[in-house]
A and B are shown apart, each in its own frame.
Chain A
Amino acid sequence: MSALLETNELTVSYGGLHANSNVNIKAEKGKLTGLIGPNGAGKTTFIDAITGFTDVSSGRAEFNGNDLAGVPPSDRAKRGLVRTFQSLELFEDLTVWDNLIVMAEETKWWSFLADIVKPNRVLGIEEQAEWALNLLGLGEHRDKLTLDLSHGQRKLVSVARALAAKPSMLLLDEPAAGLDTVESQQLGKHLREILKQDISIFLIDHDMGLVLSVCDYIYVLDFGKIIAEGTPEEVRNNPEVKRAYLGETAGEMQAEEGVAAARSLSGEG
């Protein structure tokens, strides 16, 4: 199977500092690929580089076989490469529903003229938005302003917003940050659900439990370099990962947590 998203020796430097150096990653179609690493490892920089929010110093990133160099962020989103932000960055003046619709709608240069005549047109994207809303259990909050939601709900809105665009790949930046264990397990279930909709996922997090339990393939980033990769089993048992990232005992504990979570998932699914 060919890789949907592929980077080749991707390097991002700020002055002399290499936030990402020579990162090679392949995210397969229909799979949930994970990227883990401690704080400051360069995870968010990597997402920023792929989605066009930071300049790539050298190397290349390809999506669906096309080079992404020089493509503005909004066009990358249009091509199906959609991200969420760790800091949510919702549109606070809009209702939950409008947040989703902004993401999904196609606009033409004359859209504003059409708006003047008929602002509430049927856009043909309502179904997808509805699905995203219901998948994440946000149906009842549809017409609320995002300001009026709890942090966890806002988090879900940011994922739903990304899904409304019907992306071919969803990049999630720390979706579990600030969620408790139960919420984070629920998120894991949602992610598997999303995969069934022909949406591939690239997940960045430092919640080992979540990443080890849901991902098909995992990359480990430390100081901007990939230090290990493999299936969750391989990563869990990789001594270098344990030493560099997890630390001896805490890592064991988190890894155990991951196994338990994975069991409960497979038991239910």
Chain B
Amino acid sequence: MKEAIAYSIMGLGAGGFYALMAMGIVVAYKGSGVINFSHGAIAMYVAFQFYNLRNEGVFRLPWFDILPTSWLNIPVRFNLTDGQPMNFWLCVLLALLTSVLIGALIHYLVFKPLRNAAPLGKVIGAIGVMTYFLGVASLQFGSTIPNPEAVLFKDVLFKNFLGLGLPVSVEALGLAASAIIVGAVLWAIFRYTRTGLATRAAAGNEKGAVLLGYSPDKLALFNWVLAALLAGLAGILAGTVTGSLSVGKFTALIVPALGAALIGSMSSIPLAIGGALLIGALQTFTSTWMVGESWFPSWLQSGARDAIPLIIIVAVLFLKGKSLPIRGNIEEKRLPLAPYPKRVGKYVAIFVPLGFLFAAGLPGDFLWAGLTGNWGFSFTASLVAAMFGLSFIILAGYVGQISLVQISLAGTAAFITARFVADKGPTAESPFAVGGPHWPWPLASLMGIIAAVVVGLIVAIPALRIRGVQLAVVTIAASISMWTLFFDNPSATKLQGGSAYEFGTPHFLGVDIGSTSSSGLTDNPKYTLFCLVVLAGLCVVVANLRRGSTGRRFLAVRANERAAASAGVNVPKTKILAFGIASAVAGVAGVMTAYQTASTAATNWEYGIGLSALAFCYLGGITSINGAILGGMIAGGGIVNTFGSFHSPGLYSYTAILGGLGIVLTAIIHPAGQASIFQPLMRHFGSWLLTARGKEWGAVLKRLWPFLLGGGIWGAIGINPWRTDSWNRGWAIVLGIFLVLFVRNIVIQVKAVKAAKALPDTKSLQEVTA
């Protein structure tokens, strides 16, 4: 018993850290109504900044050098002390200044423009910021996982704290005490200063605060800076309490902090601190004392710590989800319209053969003999990413449910499939292989997809009571917890030391459709074709759902749950159905991803990957099927990304940053996504291909020949003369023509939108773009 108490007291250190984080989340919410998912990422960035300042005196700015020149650069990195350790207080000051800068930038560049956006838009904005900081941190700090020193009371221990028989570090107690002190200061600010009072007033009734002469913008700026300062302070003070400093894991500490903030109903600072200390104490108590008990299930041992915040979040939202204050805004926009898919059959009839041609190549190696190497990988990756995107389209786009757990569902499908498809156990070549019943691949995949649906339905249960942004909180917590509880838990997966499951080669009617080609790489064009067929099938399924009674009910629920209920639509059942279907789609995408790389490991299913997938899907257009396809094309590792890599080999490392920036921009400027810009082009092109006769071909050639010729010559010279790869010349010509036409189309579209915007009513915008 004494031990249990001592362990709980040790946990107060982590609790203090969570408390500092939770206060920042509460402040940001009060000031702007945004549940700031990026709070952990900001704390992580400042923690790295502080560590690097302290150890080698290197100061960095939170952006990257986008200029491709070597003589003109955007300043990013400053070496202040020639690699020597720096003065402690100077480090603190610089780290806190970084926080202030980040807070102000986030306000001006992201959340001020998003002030009147739909709730999903704000969540997307926060996720964009998070993705951005994950990307910038990976770029600047790389994959180093340093072990920071304690900041408070370094190396001081109570050898026998309160006679409990165990040593307790003073650092832990100091962190808890600092959180309480900071909390008292914050409480005083909100209680006694004019700005604090005005913030509280605006959180209750923004219109009222405006009428009293307060600028909501200034209040929001003040609160964002304050929130970022708190994040920075947490990052500085964390010391040894949060363990080694890793980009992904430190950012994931947002989950316990969110749990604590929710205990305080996103408004009470004392309750948030209490909740945070409780979570910290419970975590250490569970992970050190309880797991040692004989009754504790062994498979839970490694994940128990991370399950606690999830349980608390679900419990809090379930119990008082409806009573949580929804911050009133002056004006709220809705999600973009979900367009009615037309001519689905024609689309499939045109684009699937085109894709076949593109992927498989022409007979006799005319121009090209199918996609192999980088292009093969990336085209397949795009197809798979588009499949995954469809699960977001169904859930977020059609039913308005923001679920961030889809990546874990895809992973579940992949892992379960792997277990069923596996044959013998370890061999000499693959000592870590996991044994299994060696089922045929279609059956094993089906089991995987069913598993994804089952997990998805369990996640859906809280969604019946929890809606909107709160659901995003639960699902991101679920995604992070599932990773530690299941994917990264050797006793659950039987994978030793981060090894991967191996997938055999799938055959269809005797043909090898596995991704592994004769060259040993995973670039078999037949697998690409397989993906194309699956994606086309999924698109037809989703389009038909949207066009039928299911789609009507989905959109009715999305538009207005009350009205849907009054229309005889069973809202809970409809949501469950959507979760089920979206889980199945995510499951299919998971299985296809696994087969694409011929193996799957825990690192494939981390929450960050799911976030950037959502980001690219939103960028493409969250409410339409074309959005998912476009999102797949621009996703990390997809064709656009690979195209970029030919010009600057390092573009892969910018994927997260560009994705983050892209979704923030999309959320602000064009919430319907890029698909609505490309849709008219695709439709036009598609029906034209079907109907055009010789004369029309001639007319088009006459109009476009300068572009075709120019693009062709450009391609023949080489798109980029300095490129280092060695791909087919014929390809380059086609690509050059495509690029020129692509740019031309964008120019035309932009002109059309501008012309439409100059007109007084918005109706004509739709007419012009249609």
Contacts and interface: CB of A to CB of B under 8 A. Distances in A.
B50 to A, nearest CB: 48
B544 A117 contact: yes
Interface stretch (A75-83, A128-136, A219-227, A231-239): A75-83
Nearest to B540: A116
A135 B559 CA distance: 26
B588 to A, nearest CB: 14
Contacts of A21: none
A140 interface: no
Contacts of B556: 91, 94, 102
B565 A101 contact: no
B559 A119 contact: no
Given A53-B565, A82-B566, 10 more contacts: A74-B564, A83-B566, A85-B563, A102-B549, A102-B553, A105-B549, A112-B577, A114-B548, A118-B544, A121-B549
A13 to B, nearest CB: 18
B563 A89 contact: yes
Contacts of B546: 119
Given A74-B571, A90-B559, A116-B544, A102 B565 contact: no
Given A74-B571, A91-B556, A93-B338, A115 B562 contact: no
A98 B550 CA distance: 12
Given A74-B565, A74-B568, A111-B550, A93 B545 contact: no
Nearest to B336: A93
Contact of A91 (B340, B564, B577): B564
A51 interface: yes
A165 to B, nearest CB: 6
A93 B555 contact: yes
Interface in B531-560: 541, 543-553, 555-556, 558-560
Nearest to A143: B340
A58 B308 CA distance: 40
Interface residues on B, range: 20 to 34
A107 B549 CA distance: 8
Nearest to B558: A93
Closest 8 A-B residue pairs measured CB to CB?
Answer: A115-B548, A119-B548, A89-B563, A119-B547, A77-B568, A73-B565, A119-B544, A91-B559
Interface of B: 334, 337-338, 340, 541, 543-553, 555-556, 558-560, 562-571, 577, 581, 763
B552 A98 contact: yes
Given A93-B555, A93-B558, A102-B556, A115 B550 contact: yes
Interface residues of A, number: 41
Contacts of A90: 559-560, 563
Contacts of B581: 112
A5 to B, nearest CB: 16
Contacts of A148: 763
Q: Which of B541, B552, B555, B581 neighbours the largest number of chain A CB atoms within 10 Å of its CB?
A: B552
A143 to B, nearest CB: 10
A103 B565 contact: no
Contacts of B550: 107, 111-112, 115
B566 A93 contact: no
A172 B550 CA distance: 27
A72 interface: yes
A161 B337 CA distance: 20
A92 interface: yes
Contacts of A53: 562, 565-566
Contacts of B549: 101-102, 105, 107, 111, 115, 121, 123
Contacts of B545: 112, 115-116, 119
A102 B548 contact: no
A2 interface: no
